[in-house]
Structure 1
Amino acid sequence: MESTAGAGQLLAISDLHISYPENRELVEKMRPGTDDDWLIVAGDVAETVADIRWVLETFADRFAKVLWAPGNHDLWTHPKDPVTLRGVARYEHLVALCRELGVVSPEDPYPVWEGPGGPVVVAPLFLLYDYSFLPAGCTTKEEGLAYAHGTGIVCNDEYLLLGPAVADNRAIRFRPPEDTDLVLIWGDDTAVPAATAIIESLPAGARVRAWLEVPHAGDVQDVATAADAEIDWVVGTTAEAAIRGARLPAAERPYVWIAGESGRVKELRRHFVGERGVDRRRVTFAGYWRQGLTEEQLREAGE
């Protein structure tokens, strides 16, 4: 971050991800080399609005000008974030936050850098996802997503950018029939963002029994929901034994949503259908990944 001969510099940084303590510490230590330095913050600052505000406010107080363009993590509606805005509304909220702090966003006039190497127009662009980048044999977005689910490799954006608040959500695939009287949920750590978003979206009166796996105790979350939800956080191990031994609430029309490693998903589906007697039509299952196989190997195996 040093400038030369007292001249300002046009600097850039990205992927700060300050939910990691060491990254937050890095931001706290960052200083411009001169009073004329500009800083481009090129996305993936954090997953919550409060953290994004802290970073941009910290930089705006130190640098002559700060420019921000969003990354996918900035636009996630994370279960831990009390700001529950989604999609365009979340982006517009962050643009308003930038304007409050004096930070240039993609929606503002592009400034001109007149320092060393200038004049240069600095354009913090926000470009939408392009579904034309599809796997071989797929011709539409829907086919590409179906292929991704089939291989067990699905980007988390499909769950945190398109959670259950979206009426027609093909990605998260949470579709309980209207007569459901009990929701059963299992997810490994890769499915926790989707599972917690589902639980938080459920209305008062909905009964939920969930088993969510996380690697560390610090990954356990407070899930705010109006539903009558009992959540077992399974730390550092697997939940199969707890699920098989669980006394479930009485229910005539349960619905099951299970997601995570595809081999375990299949086993739990067999348990709920074959041992618990749940109608297979009332079970939604999604394999996000496959233990020991890469995407290419999954493709070759036809999974």
Structure 2
Amino acid sequence: MTFAKEPTGSLYAISDMHLDFKKNMEALHQLPIFPGSRLITGGDLCTKPEHLRTALSILTQRFDRVYWVPGNHELWSSKKPESEESARGVDKYLWLVDICREFNVLTPEDPFDTWHGVGGPCTIAPLFIPYDYSFMDDPNADWAAWSEQERVEKAVAWAVEDGILCSDEKLINTTPYRDIAEWCRARVGYSHDRLRAIPPDRPIILVNHFPLRGDLVRLRPQMRRFRIWCGTNLTEQWHREFNIACAISGHLHIRATDYRDGVRFEEVSLGYPRDWEATQGIGAYLRVILPAPAEPEQTNHHTVFHRRGNHRAERLRRAKEVT
């Protein structure tokens, strides 16, 4: 892959653009150019492959370089018996990787890139680590005693008790893996080995659609048990094991900056049309990853919510409310 010169602008991130919705796609077409800047996309850009091609064709014209990781929506499989969209499981994922490569977009299957702009050098590490249901927080659960298959069955049954069933259970095919939990464990091992190969003195910008920690999963009370489809406990300590400068995720549609042990965690979702204000445009919802924002005095279990766009938009809103 060949790329433009080293960045003179910022490193931005956004996820969950859900371009299958007309409002979101129309807004993407209005996104301005960000000269000298790069963009991390954190999954759930869209469901349909043709929308992925459209998105990447636009984003690669707006930014010097683009990074992509899959969300759960990209992995949904079409039920059409005769079409390229009928790809399943790992084949579907690798097909999406090939689409990204058509546009020189870096994926979890490519060598890690280095940011040499302001705040660098940092290694940018896109990952694909789904979930294994271990975010289940039922106090009566005996997770350690259950077999792997029992963990999946009991976790899904626990969510269904509350009237919750993720569409993934019907739409994600995990071939050749038995289930997504097994696929998740394989991806954890693969990703862990790649991260260990990064020099320990090199800061890492880690990107995954799903949060790395269960305590970062925020959901409406009536959706609390949806958390089993939100990540894995296997990555709980990665921010301590590796030199993580910032961990980027999406999936939750609740934009926030969190700190754990001094490490910054960014949830960078745009979301469904109801989750954002079209009058601001998508550009207002791009999160600046580098240069890093000034850290708050308390950086352990400190949270900043971004209800109406990026840091600048949120500061302007608060200033208006004060005055």
Q: Report the TM-score when normalising by structure 1.
A: 0.50
- Larger RCO (CA under 8 A, 6+ residues apart): 2
Q: Computing the radius of gyration over CA atoms, which structure comes out larger, 1 or 2? A: 1
Return the structure number with greater helix share.
Answer: 2
